[in-house]
Structures are given as structure tokens and as C-alpha cells.
Structure 1
Amino acid sequence: MSLPSRLTRNHLPRTPMPRLDYVHGAPGDADLVIVAHGGQENSYARAHAHRPAALRMWPFVRAAHRGAPGAAVALVRYRYRGWNGDSSHPLEDLRAVLDALPTSVRRIVLVGHSMGGRTVVQCADDARVSGVLALAPWLPDTDPTPVPARPTESLIVTAHGTHDSVTSPRATSKFVRRLRESGVPAAEFLVHDDGHPLLERHGDWDELVRRFVATAADTDPEPVLLGARTADPAHEPDALPSWSAERGTARAALSIARTRLKLSDRRSIV
């Protein structure tokens, strides 16, 4: 079968490949923090790095680096913006990235927001993953319950704003309960007075990422996170502490812009 004249082999659409954008460290470093951004329920559009969902992750990249200065920190780049039903493209992409990592990478810490939160929790079963942080995650009941390779050692944490109207705090609680019922300890935090973009209390979200990464990478364990970690299904969500005086969406937007400018010139793409 010949191709139409307007669609020769040289003009077929290129399928983007999933990859990591390294901001700190380099491929092959023993410790690696991967930050996964959000997306859409269905979309085959390219997941450009300048979209708001990806830009929102840059302060978390900085926070992760502060939590584990000796670790590499990278942003995952999906092929498409959407989850796309049973295709589960972001999950497929992150698993492909993990499978391609060199054997010198011995410990991986995962941080994800929204669709990225859904993606990272499903990768908790990777033997090298020491911690998973899901921020305002999208967690449908139909998703399987991941079982970490070392359930009693892995640090699994979720955090959800009480004013989130995009993804469901209740669904997150149900997911955490399922984890605990399967014998997997987890910590769950409610962030009062904040919504899905994580902007009103952006300083506390940044501090959560820093303290989580420091704990999962074993550089400076955080007692609040470890104290909230439990396998008791009846345990109620803990309130996220007010660690930071930073408040307000305008300040958050300015912080995101400044962080992006500071880090962009040091990014290496592989």
C-alpha cells in the first residue's frame, strides 16, 4: 500500500520519546529525584515544557535539590499531555524512563502533581524507589493498588488541598486506605485553604517537597512525615503544618517565574 502523495515517509508525524530533563546532577548519579507534572484526561497534543503544568514543577525542583543536594534532579517529559484511557501514556512513559536508567542509579525518589501524582504512585513497585510523594493526585478507584518492593521501608506520602475542585481529596483518602489495608504504610496530609494549583500555601508545598526528599533520600529525616506514616486504615488525614510564612497566588506566580529563569540555563536534556 503506497502512502498518499501529501504524506510521504519523510513527512510522517514524529512520535515524541519520553525522557528526563536533568536540572541538577547528571545521568548515572547514584541518587535520582524525578518530578512529574500534571496533564489532561485525554489529549494527544505534545507535552511542551512551557505549559503551566510543567512550569509549576520548577519550584519543586529547587525544593528537591535543597532536600538532597547530592542527588540528581530531573523533570520527566511525557510524549502526550493526556492519560488517554487504557493507554496510560504517562505511566508507560515513566516506566520506560525508569527501565532505561543505568545500573549506577541505586535510589529513586518520585514527586508528582495531579496526573503526575497518579503516575508516580503506580511506580512505587520499582525496587529502586525509596519514596513517592503525590501532590493533589488524580487517583481513580479503578487504578490498581501498588505494592512497593519494600513496603515497610518505602515512604509513600499524599497531600491534597481542601479546596481542590479538580481532583478529589476523598478519592485520595480512599486510595490511602486501600494502601494501608494491603499492609503498606502511608502518610496522608490535608492542606487547608488551598486548591489544585497549590498556590495559596505555596511555601508549605515547597517545604513539604524539601522535607519529603530529605527523608526519602536519608539526608535529614523529617519527624512529621515519619510520624504520620501508618498502616492503620482508620487513621484520619493529618493537617499539613504551617512551615512557611509565604502565602498568596501572586507571590507564588512570581516565585515560579524567578525559579524557572534561574534554573533554565543549567538544564541539560538527555
Structure 2
Amino acid sequence: MVGGVVLLLPDGEPDSERGPSRWAAARARPLGRALARAGGPHGLVVHPVRYRSRGWNGTQARLAEDAVGAADEVLRRYGDVPVCLAGHGLGGRAALHAADHPSVGVVLALAPWLPEGPASAAEPVRQLVGRRVMIVHGTNDRRTDPDLSYRLAERAKKVNRSICRFEVHTDGNALRQHHAEVLALATDFVLGSLFPHPYARPVADALAAPPPLGLRMPLAAGFGRSLRP
């Protein structure tokens, strides 16, 4: 019996009419495998989302539209089961934007790509109300400024207390340097948000802490080797 669904949203490009990137889809698979393995006993299933094209393309926000369409398909296929949107880069932005779908209760955004300048301050956050949200960002990300995700999280925290943000020190956009810790953190958050499964202490503390502490929580080296306090 299906108890919950994770929709994997790969990275994309700000502007492009090209088809979806196989490389970006491949980068999302380790997270999907980790979630499926840990969540299988709870009835968790993981589905990658295949975009119509890889481009966000301004106000078209195609990747977010595809995320909504995938959540609609989950509702048709499985009924009213809780859904987590988990995305990287522009997939992370899509997860944040599509959070207002009625089936979505959990959002995981890894190194979310966000626009710079005035457009960044206009990124919506009201759709995150009532959702459990985690943002994870490397401090050395050269593709998208981690300070942009902090500022978005800061605005979102004002309308939704159930949001936290972890910083992966010295890591870049791909979060490769501390890959095992990132997978363990993501798995702990998703299972704890979708099922009656206790969060690890750092995740519980990050969700409970006021800004800036809960939004600049460092991801400790070795996280996941002993998840419970």
C-alpha cells in the first residue's frame, strides 16, 4: 500500500527550449534511491518527473507547471496520499513554486536556483504556508548565490514556522563534497515529515529555532552515521 510519494525534480536551465537533460536526471537518482530504500517499509514510492523541456523560461515557469502536473497524476493514480516535492537547482525552485498543490505537504529544495536582483525579492512564499520545508545549500555555490535562498527562507519563516535551512560549508552547487551527509539529511527530513518517524536532533532543532539560527544550521560532518541522539 502506498503511504506517500516523492516527486523528484531534476535541475534545468533558466531559459531553454531543449528537451529535458539526461545528465540532470541522472544526478537526481542517488537521492531517489536513498529515499526509496529508507521509505520502502513505510510504503513510500519515488517517481522522477520528466519535464517537457529543461527551461524555466520566465513567467512560463514550465518546470513548476510540470511539477503540478506530476502531483495531479499522483492524485489520479494513488488517491489522497501525501506528496513531497524534492528538487535540485531549478528543480528546487519548481518544488518551492508548486507547493500550493493540495496533495503537497513537504518540500525539499537542494541548492535552489533563484533569480537575482529585484526578481529574487518577488519570489512567492505564501504557497509554503502549511507545508514542511527544508532548503539545503552549499556555501561555495557559484551557480546560485546561497544568500538568495537564505533571504527567501527568512521571508518564508514569517508566514510558516515549519521551515528550516541547512548550510553545507565549503560545498558547491552539486553538493558532492558532503554527498553522504546531504542524502542522510534529506532522507531524515522526508521520512520525518511524511510519516510518524522522529526527526534527528539537528533537524528538529533547526525547525524549532528562530531565525537566523534555524536558517543557517550547519550540516555536521558525519551526519547520518548516528541519526538519533
What interval of TM-score do these two structures reach, taking the shorter chain for normalisation?
0.7 to 0.9
Partner letter of residue 113 of structure 2? W
CA contact (8 A) 2:10 2:90 kept: yes
C-alpha deviations, 1:170-223, integer Å up to 9, x for none? 000000001012244311110011101111111111112211221122252213
TM-score by length of 1: 0.73
The root-mean-square deviation of aligned C-alpha atoms, in Å, is 2.1
Q: 2:179 aligns with which of 183, 198, 202?
A: 202
In structure 2, C-alpha distance between the alignment counterparts of 1:45 and 1:113, rounded to whole Å: 19
In structure 2, C-alpha distance between the alignment counterparts of 1:230 and 1:244, rounded to whole Å: 19
Match of residue 227 from structure 1: 205
Q: 2:101 aligns with which of 104, 118, 126?
A: 126
Match of residue 160 from structure 1: 137
CA contact (8 A) 1:207 1:243 kept: no
C-alpha deviations, 1:96-138, integer Å up to 9, x for none? 2222332624210121100000000112222322211100001
Q: How many residues align?
A: 214
CA contact (8 A) 1:90 1:119 kept: yes
Partner letter of residue 232 of structure 1? P
C-alpha deviations, 1:64-95, integer Å up to 9, x for none? 11331121111011011110111110011111
Match of residue 46 from structure 1: 19
CA contact (8 A) 2:128 2:156 kept: no
Q: For the structure 1 residues 227 and 67, does the alpha-carbon distance in structure 2 shift closer, same or farther, using more than 3 Å as the test? A: farther
In structure 1, C-alpha distance between the alignment counterparts of 2:223 and 2:216, rounded to whole Å: 20
Partner letter of residue 48 of structure 2? L
Q: 1:143 aligns with which of 123, 131, 140?
A: 123
What percent identity do the matched residue pairs reach?
31
Which of 1 and 2 has greater Rg?
1
Q: For the structure 1 residues 67 and 212, does the alpha-carbon distance in structure 2 shift closer, same or farther, using more than 3 Å as the test? A: farther
CA contact (8 A) 2:49 2:67 kept: yes
C-alpha deviations, 1:32-74, integer Å up to 9, x for none? 11111101111111104xx221111111011111331121111
CA contact (8 A) 1:108 1:131 kept: yes
Given the alignment of the two structures, is residue 211 of structure 1 paired with residue 191 of structure 2, yes or no? no
CA contact (8 A) 1:31 1:71 kept: yes
CA contact (8 A) 1:184 1:231 kept: no
CA contact (8 A) 1:121 1:146 kept: no
In structure 2, C-alpha distance between the alignment counterparts of 1:109 and 1:224, rounded to whole Å: 20
In structure 2, C-alpha distance between the alignment counterparts of 1:42 and 1:115, rounded to whole Å: 11
In structure 1, C-alpha distance between the alignment counterparts of 2:222 and 2:105, rounded to whole Å: 24
CA deviation after TM superposition for structure 1 residue 147, in Å: 3.0
Partner letter of residue 202 of structure 2? V
For residues 180-195 of structure 1, the aligned pairs below 5 Å read 180-195=157-172
The structure whose RCO (Cα within 8 Å, separation 6+) is larger is 1
Match of residue 72 from structure 2: 99
In structure 1, C-alpha distance between the alignment counterparts of 2:209 and 2:224, rounded to whole Å: 32
Match of residue 243 from structure 1: 222
In structure 2, C-alpha distance between the alignment counterparts of 1:46 and 1:59, rounded to whole Å: 22
Give the SS at the match of 1:98.
helix
CA contact (8 A) 1:39 1:114 kept: yes
TM-score by length of 2: 0.85
Q: For the structure 1 residues 124 and 67, does the alpha-carbon distance in structure 2 shift closer, same or farther, using more than 3 Å as the test? A: farther
In structure 2, C-alpha distance between the alignment counterparts of 1:243 and 1:119, rounded to whole Å: 29
Given the alignment of the two structures, is residue 57 of structure 1 paired with residue 28 of structure 2, yes or no? yes
**Unaligned 5+ runs, structure 2:** none
For residues 6-25 of structure 1, the aligned pairs below 5 Å read none
**Unaligned 5+ runs, structure 1:** 1-24, 247-270
